[in-house]
Amino acid sequence: MVDSSVDAIPSFRRQTVVSVVESLQDATADAVAVPVVAGGELPSELGVDLAALARAGFSPEVGQARSFPRASGPALVAVGLGELASLTAKCVRDAAAAFAAAVPKDANLATRVPVLAGLAVEDAAAAIVEGVLLNRYRFNLRSTAPEEATVETLTLIAPTEQAAAVSAGAARGHAMARAAMLGRDLAMCPPVVLDAAKLADVACELAAASGLEIEVFGMDELAAMGCGGLLGVNRGSDRPARMVRLRYVPSDEPVGRLTLVGKGITYDAGGISLKPSDVSHSQMKNDMTGAGVVLASMTVLRELGCRAAVTGYLMCTDNMPSGKAMQLGDVLTMRNGKTVEVLNTDAEGRLVMADALALATEEPVDAIVDIATLTGACLRALGTEVAGVMGNDPNVVQPLIAAGERADEPLWELPLIRSYRRQLTSPIADMTNMGGVNAGQITAALFLEEFVAGRPWAHIDIAGTAQSDAANRWINLGPTGFGTRLLVEYALAFAADRPSVST
């Protein structure tokens, strides 16, 4: 059996040294990236012309990379950057990922940091580090070592006058990549490795290392707090639920107060509404991605100098069928006193998050953001590359979309159509946990809105983006950790535009 301790999580062991030097001679590298701009002058160190590169199957487009091994010294890798006028951090990140993929067995990589008009060298350095490390991310529970090498060192080459900016960008990119890899690790872990209690243990270790305050709430405390949604979903399990509350407090007066809520279903069998026995069922270890990315994002807030106070709720349990399990027609009483008739036990994510959303409103807060692998409807609507976002305040939704653009974790706003609220009407309770057969992502968001008490709020549905069926650019096969870097970007830019709402 796989070790069920936190030591089984690779992020607790994974280390990459990122450094900045002035020249290639100062770098210890197995492979060196040589950026090639379309229409630009070909770097002389390649020793070939564009015609020779073309014969080798290379064109200077983003995503193109060709390795040229040498008799001595590191391999040189031509890396396409595309047209100079259209270069963005996204292009540089994708190009860096292509470089890493071109030399999968090399552990020590180096690259020049290109000087690009319209893109700060600090942002280019950050994008390079993210692209390389995220492309070469691997999660391995095999008894043998993988053939592909972990990146042990990544060296950025830049002139002395740019060294400070490149170093700052590299440090930021390194923190972002580590957070994203942690988010992936948590979602990758099988439920035997990471159940609710073990996830709380991991959170305690990470909080201690990241300067976060942490509280863990067990079954008795959850009952005393009236968290009927989390406890209802947990009823069919032999493993106890946990709620984890994390707090990041900046060293100076906070510019705002942000609360993040993550769905932490460590394995979702569907409860009595059992899922079909197909490949999607085997992926349900990733149904805690929301909680995983909230935890992962918060681990780097102090390192990156976040100026907002951030609270995170991880709502953790599995959702299993048994003789004790929540039944169709049951009525649950939630933290805020609302009663919910359960029409589908596989619509459990909204139940566990509802308790946390209610708790979030009991403290001063400027914005609440929840994130969850919530609905197949969102997957059907937007596919696997774009997540849905809905909310009651454009001052929350639009900055989230902007943060997603910076992270290349895109969001698309879907409407909260208020008339659809009638689909949640129950004849015996305040509401049901399930709407009709259509617009399921919208009715799910309308359900969650019932628990935010009018506070500025947005809901991110990552049901489609949390899992990838193929490796692409810097996105890995399997659980992607989508939302980690987006939430970090959002928290770093967060500032309240209104007085804190008090209860």
Q: Is 275 a catalytic residue?
A: yes
Q: What is the DSSP letter of 12?
A: G
What is residue 88's three-state secondary structure?
Answer: coil
Specify the amino acid at residue 354: A
Specify the amino acid at residue 369: V
Do β-strands 431-432 and 339-341 pair in parallel, antiparallel, or remain unpaired? parallel
Q: Can you read off the two tokens belonging to residue 278?
A: 């197909």
Residue pair 205/198 in contact (Cβ under 8 Å)? The answer is no
Query: Out of 112, 198, 350, 485, which one is annotated catalytic?
Result: 350
- b/e map of 319-352 (b: 16 or more CB within 10 Å)? bbbeeebbeeebebbbbbebebbbbebbbbbbbb
What is residue 156's three-state secondary structure?
Answer: strand
Q: Can you read off the two tokens belonging to residue 428?
A: 């015996």
Find all residues with CB under 8 Å of 145, minimum gap 6, and list them: none
Q: Can you read off the two tokens belonging to residue 43?
A: 């770097």
Q: Is 350 a catalytic residue?
A: yes
Residue pair 266/244 in contact (Cβ under 8 Å)? The answer is no
Query: Out of 247, 275, 307, 338, which one is annotated catalytic?
Result: 275
Which H or E run includes 311? Answer: strand 309-319
Q: How far apart are CA 480 and CA 286, in angstroms?
A: 9
**Residues designated as active site:** 275, 350
